[in-house]
A and B are shown apart, each in its own frame.
Chain A
Amino acid sequence: MFVRDQTSEILKVFALLCTVLVFIYARPYLLDRKQYAGEFYTLMIFATIGVMLLVSAGNLVMIYLGLELLTLSSYALVALNRDSSLSSEAAIKYFVLGALSSGMLLYGMSMVYGATGTLDLAQLHAAVPQSAMPHLLVFGLIFMLVGIAFKLGAAPFHMWIPDVYQGASTPVTTFIASTSKLAAFGMAWRLLETGLGDLSQHWQPMLAAVAVLSMAIGNLVAIVQTNLKRMLAYSTISHMGYLLVGLVNAGPEGYASAMFYAISYALMSTVAFGVILALARAGFECEEIADLKGLNQRSPWFAALMALAMFSLAGVPPLFGFYAKYLVLQAAIDAHMLWLALTGAVFAIIGLYYYLHVVKVMYFDKPVEGGADQSTPDTSLRVVLSINALALLVLGVYWGPLLGWCRRSFGLG
């Protein structure tokens, strides 16, 4: 029912780390806007408990309970900013789409239960090859893939991500971008490998198609965005495509690379949203890319941190994001899917544009009147954000220990 193995421990460590980062980054933002209420922290802790239950799940019931605890708390967190119509609209869109995908996931679980007679993931792994109703199994698998792809934010189930990232207040967006994605990876791995590993010849091509679609839509639509949070949302969709490329490998190397990618993405997105939080002040949300114009002349350290985050997200060596992308594409090549790796590489190059656009705006444009100015005076945010961003540089060069930890948890040397 509740599994405690190395995979769940790594994911829990990083989920808790990201939640602590969100709390540190959120405090000055919430204080400025008089939103510093207990509900914010309570809901986030409930959501983190949901994450921890989800990645330790050994039973379909546990997966569903952890998932619902996470998502119900997230709905409330997105809607927490009661006076903003934008937040309420994002919340109802998230709610309707999320409930729909939970229903689909449940329907798939019921079909799998009917085909094998068991809900336990370990027993499922044994019962799947000898099931008397293989068609029912594949039918259920397809519905479960819908639920997994929604939670990850992969196209064509990605429509909630831009609205929620833009509409929710920025600390909530940081949480959904980091901790929630770790949970989504954990759920995907538990369901697809531990539960249904023998059906891998069925879900590999489906996930490959979803991955290509995500990379394409995420990278191409992010080019035309003018809102920074919405651009980061579409880039999230493309990153989830890369994560799925790692999962498509369906072997321990692929899973280790996908987990490394999920952790790297969570840390990179906390830096990116943390800089947005650091530059926001009362009455000014640092949301548009145009708000960052000339940031280098006003606040050079934060411009440098944002540039680190952008380069790392783009996958430029020697930063963290580069090695994660390299591992994932290597896993695709090892699975004899050269076309997938080439597609990933092509879209990564296309994706460089919108990240470098932000860097160009910060370093080469003239600062404007109502734009980002001095960063917040809160010292803990500045110190922790700097450490977080420098970790992208350090981990990009010294990725050995983390990668070794990820690989050991899947049984590799």
Chain B
Amino acid sequence: MMLEHVLVLSAYLFSIGIYGLITSRNMVRALMCLELILNSVNINFVTFSDIFDNRQLRGDIFSIFVIAIAAAEAAIGPAIISSIYRNRKSTRINQSNLLNK
């Protein structure tokens, strides 16, 4: 009973994250939605690990790796954004028009 509820919660968070990542004009907001996506996956892993893998907790361990990688991406993302800001003085994501076709 509880399993489906948690899976639905993480599916909602995943969808909100994807929607925000695709449609936000501010690049920092896009990064926040990326974190939301990765954390929804973490909820999934932890729940499955609790229900199916009580002894070895493989899902929990994978979650910790995902948290570490998310932190690394959260370091690279703003670095790229600050590089764009230095070149363009703005962080609107719909101003990217140098590369088209």
Interface set of A (CB-CB < 8 Å, partner B):
60-61, 64-65, 68, 72, 75-76, 79, 82-86, 88-93, 95-96, 99-100, 103, 106-107, 109-111, 113-114, 117-119, 162-163, 166-167, 224-225, 230
**Are A79 and B99 neighbours in the complex by a CB distance under 8 Å?**
no
- The answer to whether residues A76 and B76 also contact, given A96-B21, A100-B34 and a CB cut-off of 8 A, is yes
Give CA–CA (A167, B84) in the complex, Å.
13
**Are A88 and B87 neighbours in the complex by a CB distance under 8 Å?**
yes
Give CA–CA (A160, B18) in the complex, Å.
17
Contact with A along B73-86 (1 / 0, CB 8 A): 10011011101101
**Are A163 and B99 neighbours in the complex by a CB distance under 8 Å?**
yes
Query: Is B38 part of the binding interface, using a Cβ–Cβ cutoff of 8 Å?
Result: yes
Query: Is B41 part of the binding interface, using a Cβ–Cβ cutoff of 8 Å?
Result: yes
Residues of A within 8 A of B14 (CB): 103, 107
Query: Is B52 part of the binding interface, using a Cβ–Cβ cutoff of 8 Å?
Result: yes
Residues of A within 8 A of B79 (CB): 76, 79
Interface of B is mostly: helix
- The answer to whether residues A92 and B27 also contact, given A64-B65, A103-B34, A118-B58 and a CB cut-off of 8 A, is yes
- The answer to whether residues A79 and B80 also contact, given A85-B87, A92-B96, A93-B96 and a CB cut-off of 8 A, is yes
Nearest-neighbour CB distance to chain A for B23, whole angstroms, equals: 12
Nearest-neighbour CB distance to chain A for B21, whole angstroms, equals: 6
Residues of A within 8 A of B61 (CB): 61
Residues of A within 8 A of B45 (CB): 110, 113
Nearest chain B residue, comparing its CB with the CB of A92: B80
**Are B52 and A117 neighbours in the complex by a CB distance under 8 Å?**
yes
Nearest chain A residue, comparing its CB with the CB of B17: A103
Residues of A within 8 A of B86 (CB): 82
Give CA–CA (A100, B101) in the complex, Å.
22
Chain B residues within 8 Å of chain A by Cβ, number: 44
- The answer to whether residues A96 and B84 also contact, given A106-B66, A166-B99 and a CB cut-off of 8 A, is no
Nearest chain A residue, comparing its CB with the CB of B72: A72
**Are A88 and B83 neighbours in the complex by a CB distance under 8 Å?**
yes
Q: Could you pull out 13 A-B pairs where Cβ atoms are within 8 angstroms?
A: A61-B65, A65-B69, A75-B80, A76-B76, A85-B88, A85-B98, A90-B99, A92-B27, A106-B41, A113-B45, A166-B99, A167-B99, A224-B101
Give CA–CA (A100, B40) in the complex, Å.
13
Give CA–CA (A85, B87) in the complex, Å.
6
- CB within 8 Å of A: which of B11-66? 14, 17-18, 21-22, 27, 30, 34, 37-38, 40-41, 44-45, 47-49, 52-53, 58-59, 61-62, 65-66
Nearest-neighbour CB distance to chain B for A389, whole angstroms, equals: 29
Nearest chain A residue, comparing its CB with the CB of B14: A107
- The answer to whether residues A119 and B62 also contact, given A72-B76, A99-B73, A114-B52 and a CB cut-off of 8 A, is yes
Nearest-neighbour CB distance to chain B for A333, whole angstroms, equals: 36
Nearest-neighbour CB distance to chain A for B101, whole angstroms, equals: 8
- The answer to whether residues A91 and B65 also contact, given A107-B41, A107-B44 and a CB cut-off of 8 A, is no
Nearest chain A residue, comparing its CB with the CB of B77: A95
Residues of B within 8 A of A65 (CB): 65, 69
Nearest chain B residue, comparing its CB with the CB of A99: B34
Residues of B within 8 A of A224 (CB): 101
Residues of A within 8 A of B37 (CB): 99-100, 103, 107
Extra pairs beyond A93-B96, A225-B101 (19, CB < 8 Å): A61-B61, A79-B80, A82-B86, A85-B84, A88-B83, A88-B87, A89-B98, A91-B80, A92-B81, A92-B93, A95-B80, A100-B34, A100-B37, A103-B17, A103-B34, A110-B59, A114-B48, A119-B59, A166-B99
**Are B41 and A89 neighbours in the complex by a CB distance under 8 Å?**
no
Residues of A within 8 A of B72 (CB): 68, 72
Nearest chain B residue, comparing its CB with the CB of A163: B99
Residues of B within 8 A of A83 (CB): 87
Nearest chain A residue, comparing its CB with the CB of B51: A114
Residues of B within 8 A of A113 (CB): 45, 48-49, 58-59, 62
Nearest-neighbour CB distance to chain B for A156, whole angstroms, equals: 14
Residues of A within 8 A of B52 (CB): 114, 117
